[in-house]
Amino acid sequence: MSCPSPGHRRKPPSPNSDHLQHSQLLRPAGPTPSLRLTKLLLKVTIHNSVGPVQVFMCPDDSVADLVKAALFIYHRDKRRPFLKATDPNRYALHYSPFCLDSLKWNERLRNLGSRNFFLCLKSSTTSSTCSEAANNITMDSAFPLMMFVHHLML
């Protein structure tokens, strides 16, 4: 096979031609605007639910706003199991189910460093001691002497 003659070869476009180069197509016209996040896609897994709830939030919103939005979407979608409480103040948001510390309610979402969270009911703190609980059991029982049965078994 013979090479095509030099007249048949395609010539590169001259810098003054009307053709736009690839690098010019990718470059925005005018000054470069500063890019900032407008929305965040966050995933909140609610305790005992099958999958996470996906929520779009502004980076300036707080953890409290995220909890309210996640509960609203869970209730709106009629997910199962149904929630025992829908009051956002009764819930705590964590990074994962294995993290014991809950996030602060006034913390901004852009400062959290994660997009996946775990939502569960706050643990109820009771001030009763073990002896008070034992007294309540024996007083409520029809057989108050049943509390001594474990001593007879020894």
Identify whether 95 is part of a domain. yes
Q: Which residues contact 97 (CB under 8 A, 6 or more apart)?
A: 45, 47, 118, 120
When the pLDDT of each residue in the chain is averaged and rounded to a whole number, the result is 78
Has residue 63 been placed in a domain? Answer: yes
Residues 41-62 have pLDDT tens digits of 999 999 999 999 999 999 999 9
Cα–Cα dist 20/130, whole Å: 80
Summarize the confidence of residues 4-33 as an average pLDDT: 58
Split into its structural domains, the chain has a count of 1
Range of the domain at 77: 40-121
**CATH no. for residue 63?**
3.10.20.90
* pLDDT tens sequence across 83-123: 989 899 999 999 999 998 999 999 999 999 999 999 999 98
The answer to whether 42 and 62 have CB atoms below 8 angstroms apart is: no
pTM of this prediction exceeds 0.75: no
Task: Return the pLDDT at 36.
Answer: 73
Copy the structure tokens of residue 114. Answer: 């994660």
pLDDT at 123: 82
